[in-house]
Amino acid sequence: MRVFQSRWFQRFSKKEGIAGSVLFEAVSRAELGSIDAELGGEVIKQRIARPRQGRSKGYRTIILFRRGARAFFVYGFSKSQMANISREEAAEFKEAAKHVLGLSEKQLGELLTRGDFVEVTGE
Protein backbone atom coordinates (compact mmCIF):
# COMPACT_ATOMS: atom_id res chain seq x y z
CA MET A 1 0.00 0.00 0.00
CA ARG A 2 1.42 3.35 -1.03
CA VAL A 3 0.42 6.45 0.95
CA PHE A 4 0.63 10.02 -0.33
CA GLN A 5 -0.16 13.56 0.81
CA SER A 6 -1.33 16.37 -1.41
CA ARG A 7 0.71 19.56 -1.29
CA TRP A 8 -2.04 21.20 0.80
CA PHE A 9 -2.22 18.29 3.24
CA GLN A 10 1.55 18.20 3.58
CA ARG A 11 1.54 21.83 4.78
CA PHE A 12 -1.35 21.03 7.15
CA SER A 13 0.37 17.96 8.62
CA LYS A 14 3.67 19.78 9.05
CA LYS A 15 1.97 22.73 10.79
CA GLU A 16 0.04 20.40 13.11
CA GLY A 17 3.00 18.10 13.82
CA ILE A 18 1.38 14.97 12.35
CA ALA A 19 3.97 12.25 11.78
CA GLY A 20 3.96 9.92 8.81
CA SER A 21 3.55 6.96 11.16
CA VAL A 22 0.18 8.39 12.27
CA LEU A 23 -0.96 8.58 8.64
CA PHE A 24 0.13 4.99 8.04
CA GLU A 25 -1.80 3.91 11.14
CA ALA A 26 -4.97 5.56 9.80
CA VAL A 27 -4.57 3.80 6.46
CA SER A 28 -3.83 0.48 8.19
CA ARG A 29 -7.09 0.76 10.13
CA ALA A 30 -8.94 1.45 6.87
CA GLU A 31 -7.27 -1.56 5.21
CA LEU A 32 -8.62 -3.70 8.05
CA GLY A 33 -12.12 -2.31 7.50
CA SER A 34 -12.15 0.14 10.40
CA ILE A 35 -13.29 3.26 8.56
CA ASP A 36 -14.76 6.17 10.49
CA ALA A 37 -16.99 7.30 7.59
CA GLU A 38 -17.35 6.10 4.01
CA LEU A 39 -18.33 9.07 1.87
CA GLY A 40 -18.70 6.99 -1.31
CA GLY A 41 -16.72 7.03 -4.53
CA GLU A 42 -13.57 5.73 -2.78
CA VAL A 43 -13.49 8.69 -0.41
CA ILE A 44 -13.25 8.06 3.33
CA LYS A 45 -12.99 10.13 6.47
CA GLN A 46 -10.57 8.90 9.14
CA ARG A 47 -9.79 10.36 12.52
CA ILE A 48 -6.17 10.78 13.49
CA ALA A 49 -4.85 11.66 16.90
CA ARG A 50 -3.29 14.94 17.86
CA PRO A 51 0.23 14.48 19.20
CA ARG A 52 -0.02 13.02 22.73
CA GLN A 53 -3.85 12.91 22.61
CA GLY A 54 -6.55 10.55 21.42
CA ARG A 55 -8.35 10.38 18.09
CA SER A 56 -11.65 11.74 19.43
CA LYS A 57 -10.07 15.15 20.09
CA GLY A 58 -7.85 14.94 17.04
CA TYR A 59 -8.20 15.67 13.36
CA ARG A 60 -10.56 14.49 10.67
CA THR A 61 -8.88 13.62 7.40
CA ILE A 62 -10.29 13.05 3.94
CA ILE A 63 -8.54 10.23 2.11
CA LEU A 64 -8.93 9.11 -1.49
CA PHE A 65 -8.63 5.40 -0.78
CA ARG A 66 -8.37 2.29 -2.93
CA ARG A 67 -7.97 -0.76 -0.70
CA GLY A 68 -4.71 -2.62 -1.30
CA ALA A 69 -3.36 -0.02 -3.70
CA ARG A 70 -3.10 3.67 -2.82
CA ALA A 71 -4.26 6.23 -0.30
CA PHE A 72 -4.07 10.00 -0.81
CA PHE A 73 -4.52 12.34 2.16
CA VAL A 74 -6.06 15.44 0.60
CA TYR A 75 -7.76 17.40 3.40
CA GLY A 76 -7.69 17.69 7.17
CA PHE A 77 -9.43 19.70 9.86
CA SER A 78 -9.97 19.71 13.59
CA LYS A 79 -13.43 19.03 14.96
CA SER A 80 -13.32 22.36 16.78
CA GLN A 81 -12.61 24.10 13.46
CA MET A 82 -15.62 22.67 11.62
CA ALA A 83 -18.20 19.96 12.22
CA ASN A 84 -17.98 18.28 8.83
CA ILE A 85 -17.46 18.87 5.13
CA SER A 86 -20.37 20.04 2.98
CA ARG A 87 -22.17 17.95 0.36
CA GLU A 88 -20.53 20.07 -2.32
CA GLU A 89 -17.08 19.40 -0.89
CA ALA A 90 -17.83 15.66 -0.67
CA ALA A 91 -18.88 15.67 -4.35
CA GLU A 92 -15.64 17.44 -5.29
CA PHE A 93 -13.57 14.87 -3.38
CA LYS A 94 -15.42 12.04 -5.16
CA GLU A 95 -14.66 13.61 -8.52
CA ALA A 96 -11.01 14.03 -7.51
CA ALA A 97 -10.87 10.37 -6.42
CA LYS A 98 -11.92 9.22 -9.90
CA HIS A 99 -9.01 11.12 -11.41
CA VAL A 100 -6.31 10.59 -8.78
CA LEU A 101 -6.94 6.91 -8.10
CA GLY A 102 -6.95 6.25 -11.83
CA LEU A 103 -3.49 7.71 -12.42
CA SER A 104 -0.92 5.48 -14.09
CA GLU A 105 2.47 5.03 -12.42
CA LYS A 106 3.99 7.37 -15.02
CA GLN A 107 1.37 10.07 -14.39
CA LEU A 108 1.78 9.71 -10.62
CA GLY A 109 5.55 9.96 -11.02
CA GLU A 110 5.15 13.25 -12.89
CA LEU A 111 2.92 14.66 -10.14
CA LEU A 112 5.44 13.56 -7.51
CA THR A 113 8.26 15.23 -9.45
CA ARG A 114 6.23 18.45 -9.70
CA GLY A 115 5.51 18.36 -5.96
CA ASP A 116 1.72 18.06 -6.26
CA PHE A 117 1.94 14.93 -4.08
CA VAL A 118 4.56 13.57 -1.69
CA GLU A 119 4.90 9.92 -0.75
CA VAL A 120 4.61 9.42 3.00
CA THR A 121 7.46 7.74 4.82
CA GLY A 122 7.02 5.93 8.13
CA GLU A 123 8.75 8.66 10.15
Query: What pLDDT does 29 receive?
Result: 95
Compute the distance between CA of residue 43 and CA of residue 81 in angstroms, rounded to an integer.
21
Span 82-97, average pLDDT: 91
Query: What pLDDT does 123 receive?
Result: 58
97 or 82: which carries more pLDDT confidence? 97
Helix ranges restricted to H, 1-123: 7-16, 20-31, 87-100, 105-114
Q: What's this model's pTM, rounded to 2 decimal places?
A: 0.92
Query: What pLDDT does 54 receive?
Result: 66
Contact criterion met (CB below 8 Å) for 118 and 14: no
For 66-81, the pLDDT digits (tens) are 999 999 999 999 877 7
For 14-54, the pLDDT digits (tens) are 999 899 999 999 999 999 999 999 999 999 999 998 777 76
SS3 88: helix
Ranges of each domain in the chain = 2-119
